[in-house]
Every structure is written in structure tokens, then in C-alpha cells.
Amino acid sequence: MNWDWEKLQKQRQGNTGGTPPGFDDFNEQFKKLKSFKLPGGKIVLLAVALLWLLSGIYIVEPDEVGVVKRFGAFSRITTSGPHYHIPYPVESVLTPKVTQIRRIEMGFRSMTRNRSVPFRQGQERGVPDESLMLTGDENIVSVQFIVQYLIKDAKDYLFNVKDVEATIKNAASAAMREVIGKSKIDDALTTGKQEIQASTRELMQHILDLYKSGISIVAVQMQNVHPPDQVVDAFKDVASAREDKSRFINEAQAYSNDILPKARGQAARITNAAQAYSEAKIRRSQGEASRFLAVLKEYKKAKDITRRRLYLETMESILSNPDAEKLILSDDALKKSIPYLPLDTVRRGKTADTAKQ
Amino acid sequence: MNKKSALLIILILVGTIVLTQSVFTVDQTEEALVLQLGKPVYPDPLGPGLHFKLPLVQDVVYFDSRILDYDAKPEEITTEDKKYMNIDSFAKWRIANPLVFYQKVRTIPGAQARLDDIIRSQLRVSLGRYTLIEVVSRKRPEIMTNVTARTKKQLEPYGIEVIDVRIKRTDLPPENATAIFGRMKAERERQAKQYRSEGQEAMARIKAKADKERSIILAEAEKQAEEQRGQGDAKATAIYAEALGQSPEFYGFMRSLDAYRKSFKDKSRFIFTPESPFLKYFQ
């Protein structure tokens, strides 16, 4: 008995060609039902049959593909547009969104899941259990990242792996920790992010391909990488220490930039002053020399009279000063009065005496 | 007429019951075994599609043909260097041989229990051979490959194919984590201190260098200035000497007169004796 069923099925599969299986069944049934009479039954039956036939129409949206199953088995993939499948219970259709990029948050959850509140950056809650990981240099770092993926093979996605989303999450966790485990904390915190993202993406893709999950990882993006809360202050202090260092250097350079030009200016002033002194001195000497030589030339012509004239002229110009006190004393009187004269006056008198010649 | 239709209805009903009892579908995600009074009918499991069986005597058991998840509870493991760590792993597996699977473990929870036993012990054994840092970092892929291979072998007799065993998380117990935090903190403090003192060192260097340069610049300027002045003085002296040397006696006279003129500019007192040459004609 069982074998007959098998044969029948095989035969049917061989025969199908144009009309899909089930149609024959349906026609036979329909004929049977035709002969079955109820008041007004024909119209009702016809309407029901029509509705049943129409239920096979389905539309695949531009971001979807249609995956048609016949008796549960994968049958075909249809692209976007209107299509027809044999109605229930023969064929059924699934329409996964294959162009839509999905997103998984790792290490944090956005607070604004509900649509009514617009997405705002920073409104999120950390999940330390997911985000804390060990680095290759035995430090702990908190990594929050997102994974973007899309369905690259709808058939694999639907039929190969149970709970694909959880699988992606596990793969993300494992991959990121493996990559971070090979990195140094400083790389993870600073310059190595690009590389970590790329390696994680690659590793995740490898894992998911191993499971034939039909998933393509579009991107792994690190959102917020920071030291754990317990040590974050120390890390921040390092950053500010680095700033301090460059501040110190800048300050010193500012000092240097301030004093050196000033010193150069001062140096220029000193050398220029010396040059001025020297040039002036030379010129003065040249002038005085010429003056002397000129006068000397004339003096040589009439020595005595020039000498007398010059002497008298000088004395005149000195003594014509209205402030100058003049005192004429005889030699005797001078000798007697010396004890009474103020000392400085004596000195002056003596000086004056030198003018005698 | 009534009798006939009643018979028809009964016939249809019976037909439907027989049909639903003998026709079954297997989904794309499933495999099925057909058992005839407990004895498997086909050597191989049935794939997706429409199938038939005998009503009443034959039974269908369905199995998930997809890759299934086994997510272990995190557990504490001791590493080769006697450190504790919490290992959270997961495995991917599928039912490779439904018949054997059905005979040995029957259900998925039953399989999970087997997986749990074997993966757990394998992880424990494998991880115990490595130091903590090896587990975290360099040897991790190797460990996972080994564990996968071994568990695969051990679970084959159960009709289970292990595809992948993967360490999801390697965390330290809280006490160890605290120690690490302490070390991280100390490291950073050291670094911060180093940066600051390096900055101060650089600052002192730069400032001292600038001070030095300033001193040199100024001294150099003074040196040049002195040289310049000296040259000027020398030149002037030479000029004076050359000119004045022509008549030292007259220079002495002239210079004295000049000096008188300059020296007695202000309020001064002159005492003359009648013998002064200036007063020669005064008497």
C-alpha cells in the first residue's frame, strides 16, 4: 500500500510538466462537487473556489524576494513584482527583506526604540556584560559596537540556521573578543580601530559562512571604546598629562620665541651704538684735525700775534660771563687772605693762575 | 436523494481523514523519520516535500535539519598559570543522522545535555593546557579548532555533527578583574607622571637653551661693540696724532684755551694779581 503511494507521487512528478501537481486533484474534486447539489450551492461553491484561486496571488516588494515552498520544500525564488503560487495547502511563500540593512547593537542599547521619540545620539544604556573584554596585554576595555548586515542568500537565510539573529550576535561577540584579544589596549583605544573593525568583520563573515547562514556582514563599527569605569579617570589623566606635556613645551617655546628676538634686537642696538660711537669719534677726530691743521697753518705765519689774540679772546669769552666773579688782589693781599678763603675758591684761584701764561 | 448525499458526505469525511492520516509534508527546515510500529521504514530520513505513509500503523517523527545553537552557561575554568577565568562558549551543531539521533538522545534537549557534558569537559581540558593570556589572545583560534575537532569526534556516535565550538567571552572573575583594574590604574598613573615630567624636562631644556642663546647673542654683540669702539678710538687717535704731531706746542696752547673755555662756563670766581698777563694794560 505504501509503495503505491510512492509510485503515484513519482508518476505525478514525472507527468507534471505544464500543470503543477494538485491541479488534477482539484479538478476531480471540483467535478465531484459539481454533482453535489444544495440550494444555491453552486454559486457559493464557485465563489469559494474563486477566492481560493485568488489567494495564490502575492506581491514581492522591491526590497524583498519571494521564496516559494511547495509542500514545505523549497521550490523557487521570485523577484519583485506580482506573482502567483498554487494556493494553500500546496504552496506557500515567504518574503524576506533582502536589501534592508539590519543592525545589531553590541555592548549597548539605544534608549529610543519606540518610533514616537526621534533618535537622539547618546541616549543609550551600556551593557557592561557585553562590552567589557580582555585585551592581548591583559587589560580590560569596554567596546560598544554595531554590526550591520543583510541577507545575501534568502534560501540559506531561511532554511539553514535556526535563530539567525542570535547566531549573528554570538558570532559578533566571539569575533570582536578574539580580535580585541589579539590587540593592545592602546590600539583599541586609539589608532587601531580601523583595523579591528576590518578584522572583526572578516572573522564574522568567515564564521557565518561556515554556518551557511546566507548573511553578509556589511560593516562592523565601533561606537564607543573606552576604559572600564573603574579606571577611566586614570586614562583621562594620561590624556591630560599628554596635553600638559605639550603645553609645557609650548610654553617654553613661547618663552624662547619671546626672549631670543628681543636679545637679537638688543644686540643690534649694542653693535649699532658701538658703530655710531666709532664713526662719530673718527669723524670728530678728522674734523678736529682739519681744524687744527688749518689754524696751525695760519699760526705759523704769525705766531706771536695769533697766540696773543687767541689768549685774549678766550679770556674775554670766559670772563664776560656775567656770573663770573672777578677779584683782583695784590700778591701781598693774596698771601694774607689765603687762610680766610674757602678752600674750593682757592682751588679755583689756583686753576685760574694756570691761565697766566 | 438524501440517503445518497449523506453517504457522499460520509465518504468525503472518511476520505479526508484517511488522506490527512496518510499524507504529510516535511518542511525545508526539517527531516523526517517514518516509523512503522516503532521500526524505521526507510534507511534514510525523508527530505522536504510531500510524503505518504500508512495511516494508523506508521508514525512520523520530525527533526530540525537546520544548524542549531547550543549556548553554554558561563563557567569558571583554571588556566595553566593557575588563573581563573569565566568562559562563555557556544556551539553550532546539527542532527547528522536522525535515526541514530532518535535512538541515542531522542530530543533536542537530550542532545543539549550531551553537548553540555562533552563540550564542557573538552574546554576544561584544553584550556587547562594554556596560560590565561594565550587563551585570550594568541592561542584562541587554535584552542577552538582543537575543541571543535575533538567534540565533533565524540558526538558523532550520537548522530550529532558539531560544526563549530567557539569561545564567546573570556572574562575574569570579579576579584581578578579588580586586580587588573588596579594594575591598569597604576600603569596609567606612571604614564601620566612620565608625560608630565617629560614635559617639564623639555620645558627646562628649551628655556635654558633660549637663555644661553640670549646670553651668547648679547655677549657677542658686546664683543663686536668693543671691537668697533676700539677700532674707532684707534683710528681717531691716529688721526689726532698725525695732525697734532705737526705742532705739539701749538696744540697744547689751543687745547688749553679750549679747556679753559669749557671749564669756566658757569659761576666761577677768578682771583687775579696785578702781575697777570691778562691785566697787563689794566694798571
How far does the CA of residue A123 sit from the closest CA of chain B (Å)? 26
A123 pLDDT exceeds 70?
A: no
From chain B, the residues in CB contact with A349 under 8 A are: 269-271
Q: Does A335 touch chain B if contact means CB atoms closer than 8 Å?
A: no
Tally the domains of chain B. Answer: 3
Residue B42 has a pLDDT of 85
| Domain that includes residue B133, residue range | 68-172
B283 pLDDT exceeds 90?
A: no
Same domain, B154 and B244: no
Residue of B nearest to A311 (CA): B257
A57 versus B254: the higher-pLDDT residue is A57
Residue of A nearest to B204 (CA): A252
Residue A110 has a pLDDT of 79
Angle (CA) A316-A321-B275 rounded to 5° is: 45
- What pLDDT digit, counting tens, does each position of A283-340 carry? 999 998 998 888 888 888 888 888 888 888 888 888 888 877 777 777 777 676 665 5
CB contact under 8 A, A136 and B274: no
Which of A 270-309 lie inside 8 A of B, CB atoms? 270-271, 273-275, 277-282, 284-286, 288-290, 292-293, 295-296, 299-300, 307
What confidence category does residue A9 fall into, taking pLDDT thresholds of 50, 70 and 90? Answer: low
Q: What is the mean pLDDT of residues A83-90?
A: 88
Alpha-carbon span A9 to A22, nearest angstrom: 11
Q: What is the mean pLDDT of residues A43-49?
A: 90
Interface test with B, best of A1, A2, A269 (most B CBs within 10 A): A2
How far does the CA of residue A81 sit from the closest CA of chain B (Å)? 24
How far does the CA of residue B110 sit from the closest CA of chain A (Å)? 17
Identify the bridge partners of residue A182 per DSSP, sorted by sequence position: none
Q: What is the mean pLDDT of residues A238-246?
A: 92
Q: Is residue B246 part of a domain?
A: yes
Same domain, B55 and B95: no
**pTM of the entire predicted model:** 0.66
Q: What HEC string does chain A produce? A: CHHHHHHHHHHHHHHCCCCCCCHHHHHHHHHHHHHCCCCCHHHHHHHHHHHHHHCCEEEECCCECEEEEECCEEEEEECCEEEECCCCCCEEEECCECCCCEEEEECEEECCCCCCCCCCCCCEEECHHHHEEECCCCCEEEEEEEEEEEECCHHHHHHCECCHHHHHHHHHHHHHHHHHHHCCHHHHHCCCHHHHHHHHHHHHHHHHHHCCCCEEEEEEEEEEEECCCCCHHHHHHHHHHHHHHHHHHHHHHHHHHHHHHHHHHHHHHHHHHHHHHHHHHHHHHHHHHHHHHHHHHHHHHCHHHHHHHHHHHHHHHHHCCCCCEEEECCHHHHHHHHHHCCHHHHHHHHHHHHCCC
Q: What is the mean pLDDT of residues B34-52?
A: 88
Residue A244 has a pLDDT of 93
Q: Is residue B230 part of a domain?
A: yes
Q: What is the mean pLDDT of residues A107-115?
A: 67
Domain boundary, last residue among B116, B146, B172: B172
Q: Is residue B75 part of a domain?
A: yes
Which of A 36-65 lie inside 8 A of B, CB atoms? 36-37
Same domain, B73 and B156: yes
Residue A107 has a pLDDT of 87
- What pLDDT digit, counting tens, does each position of A152-189 carry? 999 999 999 999 999 999 999 999 999 998 899 888 88
What confidence category does residue A65 fall into, taking pLDDT thresholds of 50, 70 and 90? Answer: very high
- What pLDDT digit, counting tens, does each position of A11-29 carry? 544 444 444 545 566 666 6
From chain B, the residues in CB contact with A9 under 8 A are: 50-52
A301 versus A344: the higher-pLDDT residue is A301
CB contact under 8 A, A328 and B180: no
Q: What percent of chain A has pLDDT over 70?
A: 78
Same domain, B87 and B150: yes
Q: What percent of chain A has pLDDT over 90?
A: 44
Domain boundary, last residue among B172, B205, B228: B172
Residues in chain A: 357
Residue B207 has a pLDDT of 94
Domain residue spans of chain A: 1-32, 52-94, 102-109+123-227, 235-323
A111 pLDDT exceeds 80?
A: no
Half-sphere exposure of A292 (CA within 13 A, CB side): 25
Q: Is residue B7 part of a domain?
A: no
Same domain, B140 and B213: no
From chain B, the residues in CB contact with A276 under 8 A are: none
Residue of A nearest to B237 (CA): A285
Residue B38 has a pLDDT of 84
Q: What backbone phi and psi angles, to 5 degrees, belong to A342? A: -60, 145
A121 pLDDT exceeds 80?
A: no
A231 pLDDT exceeds 60?
A: yes
- What pLDDT digit, counting tens, does each position of B177-212 carry? 888 899 889 999 999 999 999 999 999 999 999 999
Same domain, B232 and B245: yes
Q: Which of A80-94, A109-123, A261-275 is least confident? A: A109-123
Q: Does A111 touch chain B if contact means CB atoms closer than 8 Å?
A: no
B136 pLDDT exceeds 70?
A: yes
How far does the CA of residue B74 sit from the closest CA of chain A (Å)? 12
Residue B258 has a pLDDT of 85
Q: Is residue B181 part of a domain?
A: no
- Report which residue type is found at A351: T
Same domain, B35 and B113: no
Residue B195 has a pLDDT of 94
Query: How is domain A102-109+123-227 classified at the CATH fold level?
Result: Tetrahydropterin Synthase; Chain A (3.30.479)
From chain A, the residues in CB contact with B269 under 8 A are: 324-327, 345, 348-349
Q: Is residue B53 part of a domain?
A: yes
Q: Is residue B196 part of a domain?
A: yes
Residue A222 has a pLDDT of 92
> Residue B82 gets which letter from DSSP?
S
Same domain, B151 and B237: no
Of A207, A230, A251, the CB nearest to B181: A230
Alpha-carbon span B150 to B142, nearest angstrom: 12
B52 pLDDT exceeds 50?
A: yes
User: Is A285 within 8 Å of B236 (Cβ atoms)?
Assistant: yes
Alpha-carbon span B180 to B193, nearest angstrom: 20
